[in-house]
Structure 1
Amino acid sequence: MRIAVAGGTGWVGRKVVEAVRAAGDVPVVLARSTGVDLTTGAGLDAALDGCATVIDVSNVVTTGRRKSVAFFDAATTRLLTAGARAGVAHHIALSIVGCDRVGLGYYMGKRRQEELVLSAAVPHTVLRATQFHEFAAQMLVRRGPVVAAPRMRSQPIAAREVADALVTLAGAAPAGLAPDLAGPEVLEMDDMVRRLARARGDRRLLVPVRLPGAAGRALTGGALLPAADGPRGRQTFADWLTTPDARAEGR
């Protein structure tokens, strides 16, 4: 089976492509580097020809509402429209646990993506996942003598387990909004960043930062934790710290 992976060159996308291949299917990467522009639709019809399933893990790097909403609105609309023309039987989108409860600009774009997918005629599934273990690595990418780490409670999961879950969904019937996917334990993000820095020998000063207002209260109060039972990953953050992913991601 040919499975299109939108954003297949990103952190999660690369792992989804690997999981598709491991399952014996053929990944078709949708990215600018492969001649496909999700926001304009360029190259999309040709790439989706013969694809039975789309797994959308595309992303935009921004914290702003306008840019996030614009990207996810355009990319999701193009994917769904082209998918309908191509006869795609299952559109799967990755979203974020708690994006409907936290008023951050980036999450507004994810809400728009969910709205479009869940109201689409193409059979669909939306999987919300918690922050990845790899999210801690993003905090260490920034240069300088000080590392700012967000104050937030999370139930982190390995990106590889999220990728595997998405490919498993590709082999199942469309489920609408699927149960939340989360990791095996609740942790504080600033502590995760500190532990990763220590494991890498990064001796910079780490400063926990709480976002102001309602969003900050929501992040520290557990709004990004799953609100109901659902599937749970097995790899703990401590276990992840011993893997090649922990040494490589974000560098």
Structure 2
Amino acid sequence: MRVVVAGATGLIGSRTVARLRDHGVEVVPISRSAGVDVVTGEGLSKALRGAEVVVDVTDAPSRAERTSAEFFGATTANLLQAATAAGAEHYVALSIVGANRVPAGYFRAKAHQEEQARRSPMPHSLVRATPFFESVEAMSRSDAHADGVHVAPVLLRPVSADDVAASVAHVAVGVPLFGALEVAGPEEYRLDVLTAKLLAARGDLRGVIADPRAPFFGAVLGERALLPGPAAHLGDRTLARWLERR
């Protein structure tokens, strides 16, 4: 099996490449640094020659709705077109839990990406992940409020990037789902509590303010908007295990 991975040098992409190789498949990593631009389509047709599966774990340069919508609109269209021309049999895209019910921000952009996959003749699978520990930590670092870190008091089951990559790789070597698999972590937290734990773990003394109006990925969320459904696949990395491995 020949699997092409778009976004192969990113947080999830690099781990997905390693997991796919563990499955014993031939992996072709593509990225801008390798001369392939998924936004413009440059080098894409050549890179996808002979591909049986195309895995899309690219990510937008910004969580702003307009930027992410433009990015995913272009990259998804280019990848689906090139995959179809190459005779690929399966397109796998990484999405986010809440994409199907939060009509704003990054979620709306991912929902459009999912819709592009559904409308394509290409057999597809979607892997919707809850927020990663890594992304929550990155957001806490970038918060610029003078009185502390403002986060929405929403519920979530944070997941490690390693567990997400394992699920993406597992889906990629299987039959197309023609639907979505949700992936989440084994523990439930409120986002403000999780953020406080992450700050404390790295010795950051800033306080955490539970602010219902604070946006998450460009959207103001209801309390349960980030929670997966009961059929979600749960990873095994708890916060404690993730902190140890970090």
TM-score normalised over the length of structure 1:
0.88
User: Are positions 1:216 and 2:220 aligned together?
Assistant: yes
Please state how far the C-alpha of 1:132 moved relative to its aligned partner.
1.3
Contact 1:150 1:190 (8 Å CA) reproduced: yes
Please state how far the C-alpha of 1:64 moved relative to its aligned partner.
2.5
Matches within 5 A, 1:1-251: 1-142=1-142, 146-211=148-213, 215-218=219-222, 221-244=223-246
Contact 1:139 1:148 (8 Å CA) reproduced: no
| Alignment coverage as a number of residue pairs | 241
Please state how far the C-alpha of 1:196 moved relative to its aligned partner.
1.5
Contact 1:7 1:57 (8 Å CA) reproduced: yes
- 8-17 or 150-159, which moves further after superposition? 150-159
In the superposition, relative to structure 1, how do residues 143 and 136 fare at CA in structure 2: closer, same or farther (>3 Å)?
closer
Distance 2:151 2:18 in 1: 30
Contact 1:30 1:36 (8 Å CA) reproduced: yes
Distance 1:225 1:139 in 2: 19
Contact 2:91 2:124 (8 Å CA) reproduced: yes
Distance 2:89 2:51 in 1: 9
Contact 1:118 1:125 (8 Å CA) reproduced: no
Spell out, residue by residue over 1:185-238, the C-alpha distance to the aligned partner (whole angstroms, 9 max, x if none): 21112211211121112223333333369x5351xx201111332321111122
Contact 2:3 2:55 (8 Å CA) reproduced: yes
TM-score normalised over the length of structure 2:
0.90
**Secondary structure class of the residue paired with 1:122:** coil
Please state how far the C-alpha of 1:25 moved relative to its aligned partner.
2.2
Identify unmatched segments of 5+ residues in structure 1.
Answer: 245-251
- Please give the root-mean-square deviation of Cα atoms over the aligned residues, in Å: 1.9
Please state how far the C-alpha of 1:15 moved relative to its aligned partner.
1.0
Distance 2:149 2:10 in 1: 23
In the superposition, relative to structure 1, how do residues 113 and 242 fare at CA in structure 2: closer, same or farther (>3 Å)?
same
Please state how far the C-alpha of 1:8 moved relative to its aligned partner.
1.2
Query: Between the two proteins, what is the percent identity of the paired residues?
Result: 37
Distance 1:12 1:38 in 2: 17
Distance 1:34 1:185 in 2: 38
